[in-house]
Amino acid sequence: MTDVLQTSSVVSKLFRSEQGGHEQVVFCQDRASGLKAVIALHSTALGPALGGTRFYDYATDEEAALDALNLSRGMSYKNALAGLDHGGGKAVIIGDPEAIKSEDLLLAYGRFVASLGGRYVTACDVGTYVADMDVVARENRWTTGRSPENGGAGDSSVLTAFGVFQGMRAAARSQWGEPTLRGRRVGIAGVGKVGHHLVEHLIEDGAEVVITDVRAEAVDRIRARHPQISAVTDADVLIRTPLDVYAPCALGGALNDETVPALTATIVCGAANNQLAHPGVEKDLADRGILYAPDYVVNAGGVIQVADELHGFDFDRAKAKATKIFDTTAAIFDRARTDGIPPAAAADRLAEQRIADRTPAADWLRPEAG
């Protein structure tokens, strides 16, 4: 009975809430390998849905399904503002990857993605890596984020961090008049796949950097390379540390009713998805004079990279497109000022307009003429 009730709440969000509107949600199970997964396609108006596969030990199956819905919706907006001809999709595999990830499980997952016939293109996310995508690709040709040896682009976190840095530069210009972090103090929560690359960009730009991570070894690795970097015990301490910029680069929900009032930074710009814990947080940030760079805009470098892989990967071409994140972020700040709304709302309006222009039927879905 509990499972029925939990599924009902997911269905209610899917069909009845303002945050719904997804085209398709697939629940996948392979008992032999232990696979339990949810694939959510929010929109294919702009093209095949593109988004990563998150492998995470969720507290409940309902939490996993809701995460897939939220993340896939975010991918529609991200891909739209990145200028990609892709809709938004996301998948979650339920369970502790350290305990249950196996070749058989990944192959089973690949077969489920392949069964969608190209409506969903997968890639890496939290808990999945390039080596995992190489396995998934053995059963599914709609797989990106593969290794260069297997025809892929490799680690997409490289351009994700580069794009966040471009968004941060745009925020710095909007807030202080110059597109640089030189002399500014930037706090990074999470120095894993993306965060450690972001550190390098900031150090090269002349910023002072403070870091934290739930894994002590991640912090130690950064400080061994850059002894001048300081570290604090956790994100709660970091947001209360005097900062110019706060960069959430771990899991979502970092900006909420408790953290926003405690922030010392005047810019928030980070790589984490779904940083706003609930609607209204963007207004709370604006009311405090904190400039928020919408997460799905600035962290689009990774999806730009994997999308390029579908056309025969060229790093310079993908980097050139990721560089435009600076211009997109700056345009959003300008639109926000003109319309008198928070940047998050301005970004949503721009993304929704591009998606609406191609709804209800995108060219890629139409049968060939003749």
Residues with a catalytic annotation lie at 90
Please give the structure tokens belonging to residue 253.
Answer: 């929900």
10 to each of 5, 58, 283, how far by Cα in Å? Answer: 9, 15, 27
DSSP at 266: S
Instruction: Confirm if 7 and 69 have CB atoms less than 8 A apart.
Output: no
The letter for the amino acid at 340 is: G
Tell me how far apart the alpha carbons of residues 86 and 269 are, in angstroms, rounded to a whole number: 24
Residue 111 token pair: 């077969």
Chain CA centroid to CA 329, Å: 15
Select from 296, 295, 291, 302 the least CA-distant residue to 266.
Answer: 291
**The one-letter amino acid at 239:** I
The helix (H) or strand (E) run that includes residue 94 is: strand 87-94
Nearest to 48, CA basis, from 18, 75, 20: 75
